[in-house]
Each structure stands twice: as C-alpha cells, then as structure tokens.
C-alpha cells in the first residue's frame, strides 16, 4: 500500500495517483481476506510526518495478525526503532540506502537482517536497468543488478524490486530482471509492479523466480480476490499458504 497524506493511493508508472481508501481499514480487510503480509510505503514521507507514520503503524498493529513492513523516509537507527516499537515487523529502506550504503550494515547489525528490507525502484534507460530514488523521481547511474548484489552482501534480509516500467500497467511483472536478481542473491526477492491477472503471478514465480509477489490496485479495486488467487497458485503446484 502506497500511503500519501494518511491515505492509500495508487498510480501508473509512479504518477497519476488516485485514492484507494484508509490504510488501517484496508489492512484489516486484507488480513481477514487471506493476505500473507502487507507493505506500507509512505511515498510523501518527511521529517514532519514521522509521528503521523508511527501513529498509523500503531493503529495497523492493533488491527491485524499478519506481518507488515513499513517504508518511506527511513534514514537512521532512530527511525527504525520508532517504527518497530510501534508494531512494524520489518522496515523498508530505499533512497537512504543508496545515499549511505553503510546504513544497511548498521541496521542489520542493530536489529537483525530479518527485519531489514531494501526496496529498489528501477527502470530501463537505453536498455539498461538503472536504480531510481525519491519515489522514482531521481534517476541514477547505478546498475540494478550490481546494487541488488551489494545490498544482499551488506546484510539486507529481503529485496523488494519494483519495475517502474511495469508499475500499474497490469501487463505482468518484469520477470527477466527478477530472474537475474533472484539467481544472483541468496535472500528472498519480492516482485512488484505489473500484476493484472492471475497468470501474471504464476509467471513471476516460475519465470521470474520470485519468492513473493506484491500487488496493489488489483486488490484495492477488487479486481482479483486474494483467496481465489492463492487457490489458483496452489493448483499450479506453486507453494502457497492457504
């Protein structure tokens, strides 16, 4: 769930956002309807909003009994400490990790790799996958696959890879890039960006070699029902928690 100003939003290719509801209410509904984990990304995070985000995390933790990850504007041990104490199971860092790679090592040493997720937003530029920062607004020259290997070596527990080219398009995940990442690191890789129908999930687990798949709008706007998706994956011999 992308969160902006206390509301869940969803766009296409990281732009043209539309409202998708209250994040706490959605979280409770998803936990009830079979989601395995939830991810909240505050896409407008700033220092002033830190207390607001911590309050949301506390209210979510009161409502659900499944793990959830929180990200957006996290740049220090103190930021992580606040969110974990308010009930988050994991934290996700992105731009701050690129700007200060040693932060990954520091957080993994302090809190354990199991709760440190490094999110990577990337898109293809002239045929090369390049990492982008600040909610996809700032391009870098950093190669996606080199960065994925580095974050794993530095102690990240999971990688959340979002293809900006596929985000919100509902045309399927970036499976070639996912497979390249998955075969080059020894930590779980979460696929994000592009889910539109059930076969897309099958493809990302088989062809993309993803360990988990994240989706937003198809669930927010009730285009696919979570339990129906899980049963379909199970029927394809894909390991899934029913």
Tokens 């909003």 correspond to 49
Which of 2, 42, 79, 167 is an active site residue?
2
Catalytic site residue 165?
A: no
What are the b/e assignments for 12-30, b being 16+ CB within 10 Å?
eebeebeebebbbebbbbb
CA dist 43 and 73 (Å) reads: 8
**Residues composing the chain:** 242
Contacts of 39 (CB under 8 A, 6+ apart): 1, 68, 69, 70, 71, 92, 160, 214
- The Cα–Cα gap between 152 and 46 comes to 27
Catalytic residue among 42, 79, 121, 167: 121
Q: Provide CB contacts within 8 A for 187, sequence distance 6+.
A: 113, 152, 156, 157, 158, 159
d(CA 94, CA 143): 14
Contact 122, 144 (CB under 8 A): yes
The distance of Cα 177 from the centroid of its chain, to the nearest Å, equals 16
Task: Tally Cβ neighbours within 10 Å of residue 139.
Answer: 14
Please say whether the beta carbons of 47 and 69 come within 8 A.
no
Residues identified as active-site: 2, 121
């Amino acid at each position: 769930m992308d969160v902006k100003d206390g509301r869940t939003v969803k766009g296409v290719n990281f732009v043209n956002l539309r409202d998708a509801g209250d994040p706490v209410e959605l979280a409770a509904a998803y936990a009830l309807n079979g989601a395995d984990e939830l991810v909240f990304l505050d896409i407008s995070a700033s220092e002033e909003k830190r207390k607001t985000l911590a309050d949301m995390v506390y209210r979510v933790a009161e409502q659900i009994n499944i793990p959830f990850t929180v990200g957006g504007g996290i740049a220090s041990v103190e930021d992580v400490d606040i969110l974990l104490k308010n009930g988050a199971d994991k934290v996700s860092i992105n731009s701050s990790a690129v700007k200060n790679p040693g932060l990954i090592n520091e957080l993994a040493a302090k809190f354990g790799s199991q709760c440190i997720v490094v999110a990577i937003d990337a898109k293809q530029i002239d045929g090369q996958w390049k990492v982008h920062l600040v909610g996809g607004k700032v391009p870098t020259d950093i190669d996606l696959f080199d960065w994925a290997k580095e974050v794993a070596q530095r102690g990240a527990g999971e990688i959340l890879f979002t293809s900006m080219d596929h985000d919100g398009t509902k045309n399927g995940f970036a499976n070639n890039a996912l497979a390249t990442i998955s075969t080059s690191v020894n930590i779980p890789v979460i696929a994000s960006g592009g889910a539109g129908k059930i076969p897309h999930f099958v493809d990302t687990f088989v062809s993309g070699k993803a360990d988990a798949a994240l989706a937003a709008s198809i669930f927010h706007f009730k285009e696919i029902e979570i339990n129906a998706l899980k049963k379909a994956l199970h029927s394809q011999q894909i390991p899934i928690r029913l």
